[in-house]
Amino acid sequence: MMRTLPRLLALSLAFAFPGPALAAQTYALVVGADHYPNDVSLDGAVRDAEDVYRSMTAAGFTVVKFTDAEARKDVIRKAWTDMVATATADDTIIFTYAGHGAQMPELVAGDEADGLDEFLQLPGFDRNRYEETSNEIIVDNEMNAWFAEAEGKGVHVLFVSDSCFSGGMSRSVTGKSRLAPAVTVKLSAPSQEAIDGASLKEIDFKQVTVLAASLESQPTPEVIIDGEPRGALSWSFARAVEGSADRDGNGLITRIELEDYIFSNVKNRSEALQVPNFMPQVARSESEVVVTLTRGLPAGAASDTAAADRIVKSAGELGWTGRIALRIDGDAARPNNADGTGTPFLWDVASGVFYTPNGDVAAENVGPDRIQAVVDKFVLLDFLKAMASQNPGSVSLTPAKDIYAAGDRLRFDAPPGRYPNMLVFNLANTGEVQFLDMQVAGSGASQFKLTDVEVVRPFGADHLVTIWTAEPIDAIGAVLADSNVTADALLQALATRLDGKAASVAIQPLYTRETL
């Protein structure tokens, strides 16, 4: 839990693209692998590939998909070669990968700062039979050679890698990591491209953008989304391509729009376990486009009008059920709204510990008198995540870590949003709702800050929430201002006033424990 400062009381479209835009095409290569006969298999990578495939097909892209045993290097390479041959200048190729990543000693001496090459591990690879199966890995140098082929024709490339190559996490998470064991001995190159591509550096590309699931120092875990194991990056990218990242509704997703959308939603869906990594780290220009939605509006259309006319879906339409799945270890009554399906939360009655589906400790000392409040908190949190999936906001917690210890001091910032009214509150690990701030248009305030926040008992998972909207918020503020407000009461107020309305939501998970 956190000790805060005193409460503040400040109050698919079918338009045609004109001119040159008509010729621009998007091709997509989707790869996902769960079943690894020679390694630990995964649970959500194929589900990721199918989800991304559906979203890109609906967007009007020309898509080829390979999953599990279909995901062989020769067929992937041919599909890439065919796309490059077909594409013309200003077309885009999107390559998405969900599966294991790994490392090996660098193939060209002095090529890598850490002495290691990274590679995508396809299902046919067996590190115990490297010479026979080395054709079933794709080394980073080879990827660079592939990207250079496309850039040589003036074709844009977006590579989305939902895998990991190194790192360790501080939190105890039960899901699988998309990190295969490293190859520890120096081996021969799997292809000439793996040697030649070493001279090509990501920084030198002018039309290639790489989006990785996490920083090199972090793992990429499979997390539970809507009750199922998933990759947070793949899930977020699929929603982005569905149009949620197209903030101004003009049919073009800029690098900045994609970055804002991906950073927020990966944090929400991974519970702050991951920070995505873009290459280059900074957009080449403010207007750089990385995804063109062929079902979108004509380039240059009036973006303000387009954004205002976009359909805002209700939480129910976005998959929210109003229930969570809960397993109870011990003799206790089942709380309301705890009969959902999918990977369950866990309540250990004897110890009082409440675990998330990912295996994190969400709350301590939860007895029968408190369990309903905790369940109601996560039902509300699922509602807020559904809202955030189509219009996420941005907030920050510094220093940024995946878990904090007792005595740590933090700073929370919620900047001005795109809508004039703002609500800020905390959903504590106890299930308690803590009202922090309300700002209405014309009040003079523009941002919210919590400084010198101290981590104290009880430990678990808090969630700092900020909502920006143009809708009236006085009634919601009145509910929040009640010292006895419950998560269920707040849910009813938000569902009545904001569900299906234009609102931006940011969620900042805050996981704590006694010591690290």
Cα atoms found within 13 Å of the Cα of residue 208, Cβ hemisphere only: 21
Amino acid at 334: R
- Residue 32's pLDDT is what? 98
Residue 448 and residue 480 in contact, taking contact as beta carbons nearer than 8 Å? no
Is the pLDDT at 157 greater than 80? The verdict is yes
- Residue 23's pLDDT is what? 52
Residue 294: band (very low, low, confident or very high) from pLDDT cuts 50, 70, 90: low
* Nearest CA-CA partner of 100 in 141, 46, 159: 46
Burial of 169 (0-12, 13-18, 19+ CB in 10 A): middle
What pLDDT digit, counting tens, does each position of 12-62 carry?
A: 323 333 333 445 899 999 999 999 999 999 999 999 999 999 999 999 999
pLDDT (mean) for 325-346: 97
When comparing pLDDT for 356 and 444, which is higher? 356
The runs of H, that is alpha helices, within 322-421 are 371-388
The mean pLDDT value of the chain amounts to 90
Is the pLDDT at 172 greater than 80? The verdict is no
What pLDDT digit, counting tens, does each position of 241-275 carry?
A: 999 999 988 999 999 999 999 999 999 999 999 99
When comparing pLDDT for 301 and 204, which is higher? 204
**Exposed e or buried b for every residue in 410-439, given b needs 16+ CB within 10 A?**
bebbbbebebbbbbbbbbbbbbbbbbbbbb
Is the pLDDT at 302 greater than 50? The verdict is no
How many residues appear in the chain?
Answer: 516
